[in-house]
Structure formats: structure tokens, C-alpha cells
Structure 1
Amino acid sequence: MTISPNASIAVVTGASSGIGEATARTLAGQGFHVVLGARRRDRLEKIAEDIDGTALELDVTDQDSVDAFAAVLPRVDVLVNNAGGAKGLAPIVDTDLDDWRWMWETNVLGTLRVTKALLPKLIESGDGLVVTVTSTAAISIYDNGSGYTSAKHAQAALHRTLRGELLGKPVRFTEILPGAVETDFSLVRFHGDQERADKVYEGITPLVAADIAEIIGFAASRPSHVNLDQIVVRPRDQADSSRFHRRT
């Protein structure tokens, strides 16, 4: 890894597509050297080449992978915890425990592993920022979504607890809570069923990844005394997790 000693480094997890990719491009445009982490190394390298960043393979569910990733970073100024996702949409009585395990490992423990590994470097930077992309599912629940909503509630609790535990340290904490964003999210949730994924956004104008990336970029550009604690963002067509205005 060759990074200018004067560069500010932003780490983005889940950076191979969607919000992660858009965020990497936005932060690079703001002058950060972006380190992109995800499992799809080939996709990462293409994006890193486009933005003059660095691609590193990262599996947030694997402690050895997280440790190896953290060990090669000379410093960290911004961490964007974006890796996560949902699997399945079933009532509790029919839910798949493997789906729950994946969601908790990725959203909750993945965020814990990466944040814990990089916090010393963020504090050492003298003005660190941790952005965690949770969801409006972290503040509300909906039928058939208990695996995802419980994981997002727990991820948010982790992030908000750190805000208090590190009060007085030179590190800020911003939580972004998006509503409906059209990315690969629903395709992953429905195990590759494109038709079912498309129906989620049918009749509405959803947010896109760049909308969230812009907000993350705004948070990263605030002066060091400004902490944007929580930012909830939904499309105009969405009132809460289960209420939409759908045009026919």
C-alpha cells in the first residue's frame, strides 16, 4: 500500500457496490485516500483504480480478516461501517435461523469487529469520525422483518453506546438511518430473486446510493466540533418502514 504520508484516510466497508461504492467515490472526491474493504476483491480493485484508492479484501464476519486489514493501515481518519444486509422476509414462526445468524454476524458483530480494531487509529488521528449506516429498521419494526430489525436495533445500540463511552476523545460518531434505497439490498434479502426484489420499489421513487453517499460526505466535511448524531433519510414516498405511497 502506497499512501502519501499527508493523506487523510477513509475506510469504507462493504465498498464493492451500492452505498459503499458511492461513498468511496464521494469521499475520494473530497480528497480522502479511500481504502475499500469487501469480499469481492476483483470488483474492489476496479473501483479503487477509478478513484486512486486502495482495495483490500475484508470479511467483517472473520476476525482474522479484520485483524489483517487493520494491521496494514498506517492511519485512519474516517471509518464508514457500511457492510451489512438482510436475508429473508418471514414471520418469526417460519424464520430461518441461518438467516438470523448471517444478519447478526454481518450487521452487529461485523461492525463491532471493525470498529474495535480501528478505534485506536481513529483516536490517534486527532479528529476521527465513525459513520455507521444502520437503517430506519433501527428505530421501528415491521411484520416478517424481525431478524433484520433486531440486528439493526443492536447495531445502532452499539454505535450509540460508543458515542457516550468515548465522550471527550477526539472522535465523532454519526449514524445514518436510510429508508428504501434501491441497491442490491432486496436482491440479497430474497436470495437472488430479481422479480421479488423489483416489487419492493414498484410504484415509488426510492432513494439511490448516491443520496446516502452525499450525506456521509457532508458529515465527513463538518468541522471537528460538530457531531451529527443521527440522520434519518427516507424517500418522499415512504412514511415509515411499512407505509408507502405507491403510484399505479
Structure 2
Amino acid sequence: MTAPAAPSAASRIAVVTGASSGIGAATARQLAEAGYRVVLTARRTDRIEALAKELGAAGHEATAYALDVTDRAAVDEFATAFKTIGVLVNNAGGALGADPVASGDPAEWRQMYETNVIGTLNVTQALLPALTASGDGTVVVLTSTAGHGTYEGGAGYVAAKHAEHVLAETLRLEIVGTPVRVIEVAPGMVKTDEFALTRFGGDQEKAAKVYAGVAAPLTADDVADTITWAITRPSHVNIDLLVVRPRAQASNTKVHRES
């Protein structure tokens, strides 16, 4: 049996979008621990610079680059600065509001679509040539169980994540035969410092209710571990779709809550 080729230097460079907090920051840490040089992107420069410093102090290679994934000109400029990469983790995204369709804010819908879908499209299109040239590229699209099942309230986020899922699925069909894998990771209930708080406009009480009674929702580290595991499979192994939920969550609408 022929041994698999050793990973190229290019394939050991990973770009993580939305790396300033939560799942993105946790993924950057775990990829660095796995031996990747990580490129941290996000809008909050201070956060990613602090993370790069933290990783550097631990002996890892990390670079911070301020980037808004919805700004195509900025994304294209970023692509010219990093012409050699092997992994792209499309993590930037998020939810706004939980209103019914009848009263949902179109501006929030538009913002969620721009960030989750167009942002992923922008970065993937810009970096795909470099990923292909690496000879062993990987695109990760972080969606959500919201992209695989509907629930009442927050249809804007559900719609955006459905679109992002279709983007990943279609890309995999279109580039089959090239040396690039497309992996989708779809987490369920994840408790991070910011996701629910951002969704509810900083309302701590509403954010807390999302996780009320759930003994052990997923953490950012749980999802990062899943992403890192999928990326570090042998090159010929593609984890098309990995849905990960806490044990207490059977579906988007069925969650066990302790009294």
C-alpha cells in the first residue's frame, strides 16, 4: 500500500474568519495546537491581535489581519496578501433577532444574509485559487442545524444558514476532481459569550433563556474540536456534513431542560 504524501507547507496554513471570539477563536487555538500556521481575521483588530500574541507566546505561528468579509474589495486585497494557504474556515456569521416572518426586520435579514452567505462566498471565491494551488486544500463552512431544519422565530437566520448549506453542497459538486475538500459542520445549541447576546441586541435576560435548564450545551471548544478533527483527516477523506448537538438537544425544537 502506498503511503499518503506528506502534507505540503502550503496545506499547513489555515485562515479562520470571525476569529475574534467564540468558535472562531477556539478553532484557531486548536488548529495552532495541531501544527497549523493560523491567519486570524475579524473586524475587531484588538481581539485578533491579542489572540495572535497569545498563540505566539505559546510557540505557534499566528498572524492577525483585520477583515470584514462582506467587503469584497477588502477580501480581494487580503487574498493578494496571502497567496499560499491550505485551509479556509468560514466561521464569520451570526444571528439577529427571533421575530416571526410577519414582523421580522428586513434590515436584519439582509445583514445576516450578507455576513453568513455573501461573506462566505466572498472569501471562498477569493481564496479558492490558492487552496487549489496548494495541492491539498480544505474549505470548511460552519453552518448550523438551523440550515437543516426550520423553527418558529428567527426565520431570517434559518434562511441564511439554509443558503450557506446549499453554497457548500453546490461547491463540493462543482469542484470534485480538484485537490480541495469541502466540509460542512453544523452545530446545534452552542453556549458562547456573544452569540445569543448579539441575537437579542444585548438583552441578557433573553439570551440566558436560550440555555435555561440545559445542563450542558455545546461549548466553542466542542465545535472547534469537531472542526479540527474533520480538517485533520487524511486528504482523501472528506467529511461532507457533520451535525453536532449537545446530548440534551434532539432537534431544533426538542430540548431537554431540567426544572
- Whether TM exceeds 0.5 here: the answer is yes
Task: Give matches, 1:171-182, under 5 Å.
Answer: 171-182=180-191
Match of 1:39 in 2: 43
| Structure 2 Cα separation of the partners of residues 163 and 235 of structure 1 | 27
Counterpart in 2 of 1:231?
242
Percent identical residues? 57
Q: Residue 114 of structure 1: CA displacement?
A: 0.4
Partner of 1:48: 52
8 Å Cα contact 1:34/1:54 also seen in 2: yes
Q: What do the CA deviations read for 1:70-103 (whole angstroms, capped 9, x no partner)?
A: 1110311000000000000011111101100110
What is the alpha-carbon root mean square deviation over aligned residues?
Answer: 1.1
Question: Counterparts of 1:29 and 1:10 in 2: how far apart (Å)?
Answer: 12
- Structure 1 residue identity aligned to 2:136: D
The answer for unaligned runs of 5 or more in structure 1 is none
Match of 1:68 among 55, 67, 77: 77
Show the counterpart of 1:206: 217
Runs of 4+ in 1 over 4 A off after TM superposition: none
User: What SS does structure 2 have at the residue aligned with 1:47?
Assistant: helix
SS in structure 2 opposite 1:243? coil
Within the candidate set 201, 209, 218, 2:229 is matched to 218
Aligned residues: 244
Match of 2:16 among 12, 18, 25: 12
- Structure 2: which 5+ residue stretches go unaligned? 1-7, 57-61
TM-score by length of 1: 0.96
Distance 2:190 2:17 in 1: 18
Query: Does the aligned pair in 2 maintain the 1:57–1:69 contact within 8 Å?
Result: no
The C-alpha deviation readout for 1:138-161, integer Å capped at 9, x for no partner, is 110001121011100001101110
Residues in 2 aligned to 1:164 and 1:31: alpha-carbon distance in whole angstroms: 29
The 2-side partners of 1:6 and 1:225 are apart by 18
Q: Check if 1:143 corresponds to 2:166.
A: no
TM-score by length of 2: 0.92
